[in-house]
């Protein structure tokens, strides 16, 4: 893990951190014993104890930032449950449950919905295939919704019916970036009134229509290079000032610092073997 504070500058004074409430799951049963994305190679060994140590470093970063971190118990036989972001989408105290595309992960949906119900959320059982906050990102009052590999477009209509927020569909076209949160990072989760929330994204992950939408809505977005995206640098989590990212995403780190954010690098290389990074391990709980 590495954490570097930026030099004092005018831009950084405009970035205000906000306390976040998140849900995580320890990777006690993490391994790669099937292949449902290009990152996964079951023939290669994985180190569960290393995955736990790396996850604990991320957990400590969040605690040090003052986040309220909740934990859901891992379940033996569900190695991908560590990727909590896929477990649902939570907004306005309503938890829209996940319905996974692949059979190997389908039991995770009920497990997360059980946790949501036990912790006071209004749980909505999904009617359509969706993989939660992996494909649904709240940017200001708008929900960016990914499709193309995992979540069905029907789930975007469900989102609108449940939350009454504008939902903007974006088609992903690169199988290495099969969830929206691998191709877009939300940098300003709570923009000030009248200010535009900003994002960072990988242009090659989207089709032409999606690129036009992103360019129009986020003209000041950070464009991340292929090298940083390939270590899931965009799979990051921001409180509006501190942005927790993959420690190897050096150019993204530079760009964030230039914009007045405080990038904090963590090493989740073992969890990357399953196709997940910082954001994959982090589900935001919005009451």
Q: Taking the domains of the chain in order of start, what are their residue ranges?
A: 2-284
Residue carrying the six token digits 């990988």: 202
User: How does DSSP classify residue 130?
Assistant: B
What percent of the chain stands above pLDDT 70? 95
Q: What is the mean pLDDT of residues 205-234?
A: 98
CATH topology of domain 2-284: 3.75.10
Residues 6+ apart with CB under 8 A from 184: 137, 144, 170, 199, 200, 201, 202, 234
pLDDT of residue 212: 98
Q: Which two tokens stand for residue 24?
A: 């995580």
Q: How confident is the model at residue 1 (pLDDT cuts 50, 70, 90)?
A: very low
pLDDT tens digits for range 198-217: 999 999 999 999 999 999 99
First to last CA, the chain: 30
CA angle 129, 236, 216 (to 5 degrees): 75
Q: Which two tokens stand for residue 55?
A: 């996850």
Task: Give start and end residues of each alpha helix (H) in 65-185.
Answer: 108-118, 153-163
Of the residues 25, 156, 179, 281, which is catalytic?
Answer: 179
Report the distance separating Cα 245 and Cα 236, nearest Å: 5
Evaluate if residue 4 carries a pLDDT over 50.
Answer: no
pLDDT tens digits for range 87-139: 999 999 999 999 999 999 999 999 999 999 999 999 999 999 999 999 999 99
DSSP H/E element including 208: helix 208-217
Evaluate if residue 9 carries a pLDDT over 70.
Answer: no
Burial class (CB in 10 A: 0-12, 13-18, 19+), 216: exposed
Helix (H, G, I), strand (E, B) or coil at 83: coil
Angstrom distances, CA of residue 185 to CA of 7, 87, 199? 23, 18, 6
User: Facing residues of 70 across strands?
Assistant: 23
Report the distance separating Cα 238 and Cα 223, nearest Å: 16
Q: What is the mean pLDDT of residues 231-250?
A: 98
Q: How does the average pLDDT of the chain come out, rounded? A: 94
Other beta carbons within 10 Å of 11? 12
Specify whether 179 is catalytic.
yes
pLDDT of residue 191: 85
pLDDT of residue 8: 36
Q: How confident is the model at residue 185 (pLDDT cuts 50, 70, 90)?
A: very high
pLDDT of residue 193: 78
Does residue 275 contact residue 42 with C-beta atoms inside 8 Å? no
pTM (2 d.p.): 0.94
Residues 6+ apart with CB under 8 A from 114: none
Evaluate if residue 194 carries a pLDDT over 80.
Answer: no
């Amino acid at each position: 893990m590495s954490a570097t504070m930026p030099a004092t500058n005018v831009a950084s004074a405009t970035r205000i951190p906000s306390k976040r409430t998140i849900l995580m799951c320890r990777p006690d049963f993490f391994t790669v014993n099937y292949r449902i994305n290009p990152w996964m190679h079951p023939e290669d060994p994985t180190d569960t104890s290393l995955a736990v140590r790396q996850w604990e470093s991320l957990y400590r970063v969040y605690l040090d930032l003052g986040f309220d971190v909740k934990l859901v118990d891992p379940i033996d036989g569900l190695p991908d449950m560590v990727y909590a972001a896929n477990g649902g989408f939570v907004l306005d105290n309503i938890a829209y449950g996940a319905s996974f595309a692949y059979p190997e992960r389908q039991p995770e949906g009920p497990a997360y919905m059980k946790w949501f119900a036990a912790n006071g959320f209004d749980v909505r059982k999904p009617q359509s295939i969706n993989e939660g906050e992996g494909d649904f990102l709240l940017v200001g009052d708008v929900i960016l919704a990914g499709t193309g590999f995992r979540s069905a477009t029907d789930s975007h209509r469900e989102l609108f019916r449940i939350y009454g927020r504008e939902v903007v569909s974006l088609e992903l076209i690169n199988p290495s970036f099969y969830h929206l949160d691998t191709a877009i990072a939300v940098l300003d989760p709570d923009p000030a009134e009248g200010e535009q929330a900003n994002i960072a994204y990988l242009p090659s992950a989207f089709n032409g229509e999606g690129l036009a939408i992103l360019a129009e809505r986020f003209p000041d977005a950070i464009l991340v290079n292929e090298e940083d995206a390939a270590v899931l640098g965009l799979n990051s989590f921001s409180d509006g000032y501190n942005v927790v990212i993959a420690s190897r995403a050096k150019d993204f780190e530079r760009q964030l610092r230039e914009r007045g954010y405080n990038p904090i690098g963590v090493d989740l290389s073992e969890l990357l073997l399953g196709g997940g990074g910082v954001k994959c391990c982090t589900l935001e709980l919005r009451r």
